[in-house]
Amino acid sequence: MHNVIAAPGVKLSALRRVLSHPVALDQCRDFFRHHPQIEPVPFYDTAGSVKHVIANQQLDAAGIAGRQAAREYSGKILQANIEDDKRNFTRFFLIRRSSSIRKTNLRQKNSKGQGSAASVSRKQSLTLPGANKTSIAFKLKNLPGSLFKSLSVFALRDISLSKIESRPMRGRPWEYVFYVDFLRGDDEPARNALRHLGEVAEFVKVLGIYPAA
């Protein structure tokens, strides 16, 4: 939740500038629409904006951040929950190093005994209790129907996708990697879907298996 936080003693009516990360500012448009005298000022970080205005005793400025920033820097919340969308959440991931990576070879043999599919890279680690969501990345050849074929491996097994997006590959114009979240953990239908995806993709990488938020 976004809050307007200033140094102790500062009043909302005295504010002329409010600092925060550009994304946070954009998520609080209604606040600035109702307070046209206050200028939104981009800053590198939400909590950092609160630290900045309090450390510098800026009496006409505040920051937009979570409640923890007010506690951390001894600030005062002048107005709480100012975000436009009250159901807007930010998700964070805790990433750890893995000692090794196990590659499950999904290469299928054709009639001539030649390989025809990509391999899937999976992190060799214990699955978290209650893990029911998986994030993957994969690349396809630019051929008619390739995206349809890749997504059908999930539809055929009644696996629901919660996100799909593409990102360009650095140094390889007009080539993209697809990032997908699907709502299954490390179970047989998910493993079969990944094996099937490995038959149509150039590569498949499992980024993580974890409990859904």
Split at pLDDT 50, 70, 90, the class of 91 is: confident
Rounded CA-CA distance 126/99 in Å is: 12
Other CB atoms within 10 Å distance of the CB of residue 30: 12
Q: pTM score > 0.75 for this model?
A: no
- What are the catalytic residues? 90, 92
Other CB atoms within 10 Å distance of the CB of residue 150: 21
pLDDT digits over 134-191, tens only? 999 999 988 999 999 999 999 999 999 999 999 999 888 888 999 999 999 999 999 9
Rounded CA-CA distance 171/153 in Å is: 29
- Cβ-in-10-Å burial (0-12, 13-18, 19+) of 210 comes to middle
pLDDT digits over 93-144, tens only? 777 776 444 444 444 444 444 445 566 665 555 567 789 999 999 999 889 9
The pLDDT, as a whole number, for residue 107 is: 46
* 38 phi, psi to nearest 5 deg: -100, 130
> Positive or negative, the Cα torsion across 33, 37, 42, 47?
negative
